[in-house]
A = this chain, B = another copy of it.
Amino acid sequence: MGSNVLLLHVMKNVLPDRIRTAEEIGHLTVITEPGHVQQYGPDVDVHTVPSVQNLEVMRAKVLEILRERRIDRIFAPFELGQSAAGYLRSYFGLPGTGLDVANNFSNKYVMKQRFAAGGLPVTGFRLVAGLHQVPEAAAHLGWPLVIKPMIGGGSINVSVIHGPEHFEEFCRTPAAERVRALPVPLLAERFVEMSAEYHFDAIVENGQVLFSVGSRYTSPVLTRDGFLGSCILPPDDPTRQRMTEMHAQAVSSLGLDSGVTHMEFFETSDGLIAGEIACRPAGGLFPESIRMHTGADLWRACLELALGLSPKLELKDEEGVLAHCHLPISPGRIVEQTTEEELAALPSVVRVDMLRRKGDVVPAHLNSASASAVVYVRADRPEEAEAAIRRVVEEYRIDIVPEEV
């Protein structure tokens, strides 16, 4: 018999269908936000609240649900719902990640405090309750600074401030107005030049890392142009090995018992430093690339661990390296596009997922992992795979014209 599961959804996020309909879920109740992108079946109780981040509203809603039906587990695979999920588990005595650990993974200030306390190398940081405290932070940390909401997803409201004059200018911009209106404090971090960016993805059960894989992102230049992807590094790669150690320390410092993690690392002139960590699968088709190369299904593991089950891993040996790249998309009608066959014929390409095709109309609201297609390449060494990805990027053509509304 499956469990009664409460899924905390976030408006823009979408759960893979095979996870939403997994047989381990006996009865599904959802709390989500108005305008939610995800659709649910007829057997699902769907409740909406203005924001799943409002703890008082969520507590009242869950009490209302509990008066009708037992809840066994809360499943919250999306970052902005995880703090509330932790609070609700703590408050209602439900098993799984409680508020403090969930907060460690979603609150960037507390995360950095714990990383630093655990001896992980991090950039200098400081809590800044309001924009007017940025100069004081700069006096401690030095310019340039990155300022970002202490809690928030992606790159929304993240700004780089180069120095005092730039700060004065910034304070007069609409971006500063948006920052002033935030209901959360800011985190100020010393901006550091990075020569490469990495991500590390793992499955943790009872505090032990069951599975992990380290990858190097496509270059920032490609990412900026919408070609987001990465290359899984070989197991003996020194950076992957260093990430393995640092990730284990991070998991221990944040007190995670069980969950799927996605952590960022940066190569700097001072060596590898720890970026942020999230307790969820990577976005976009990154998990699919990891599944192809290693057999590990991060999404299934995420569900299983949330339900208190041991992940059923069917791992296979990694052969060479696999790189993938999300190909860009923008709102409008696709009038021309390199075909699936043309992409598949490029060197080292082993798979092409066409997500949009010529004639499709792409809606206005896209998140950072949206793509027109995803291409996977396999090679012996990362440098070869990355060269093959650059070739795909050079060859890919997509023409999108604005659509009359």
Contact = CB atoms under 8 A, between A and B. Distances in A.
Interface of A: 54-56, 60, 63, 66-67, 87, 90-93, 98-100, 103, 107, 109-110, 113, 127, 129-130, 132-133, 183-185
Can you tell how many copies of this chain the complex includes? 2
A108 to B, nearest CB: 10
B63 A90 contact: no
A130 B103 CA distance: 29
B93 A113 contact: yes
A183 B130 CA distance: 33
Which residue among A60, A92, A133 has the maximum number of chain B CB atoms within 10 Å of its CB? A92
Contact of A91 (B90, B98, B107): B107
Given A55-B55, A91-B107, 17 more contacts: A60-B183, A63-B183, A63-B184, A66-B129, A66-B130, A67-B130, A87-B99, A90-B100, A90-B107, A90-B110, A92-B127, A92-B185, A93-B127, A98-B99, A99-B99, A99-B100, A99-B103
B100 A66 contact: no
A103 to B, nearest CB: 5
A91 B63 contact: no
A15 to B, nearest CB: 26
Nearest to A95: B113
A244 to B, nearest CB: 27
Contacts of A183: 60, 63
A90 B103 contact: yes
A94 to B, nearest CB: 10
26 contacts: A55-B56, A55-B87, A56-B56, A60-B183, A63-B129, A63-B184, A66-B129, A66-B130, A67-B129, A67-B130, A87-B87, A87-B99, A90-B99, A90-B107, A90-B110, A91-B107, A91-B110, A92-B109, A92-B127, A92-B185, A98-B99, A98-B100, A99-B99, A99-B100, A99-B103, A100-B100
Contacts of A99: 87, 90, 98-100, 103
Nearest to A183: B60
Contacts of A130: 66-67
Contacts of A56: 54-56
A388 B49 CA distance: 60
A261 to B, nearest CB: 20
A87 B99 CA distance: 9
Contacts of A184: 63
A93 B66 contact: no
A277 B54 CA distance: 29
A149 B192 CA distance: 51
A355 B107 CA distance: 48
A67 B186 CA distance: 11
Contacts of A92: 109, 127, 185
Contacts of A54: 56
A186 to B, nearest CB: 10
A63 B182 CA distance: 11
Contacts of A67: 129-130, 132-133
Contacts of A63: 129, 183-185
Query: Which 4 A/B pairs are nearest by Cβ-Cβ distance?
Result: A66-B129, A67-B130, A100-B100, A99-B99
Nearest to A56: B56
A164 to B, nearest CB: 20
A56 B87 CA distance: 12
Contacts of A90: 99-100, 103, 107, 110
A109 B91 CA distance: 9
A98 B99 CA distance: 9
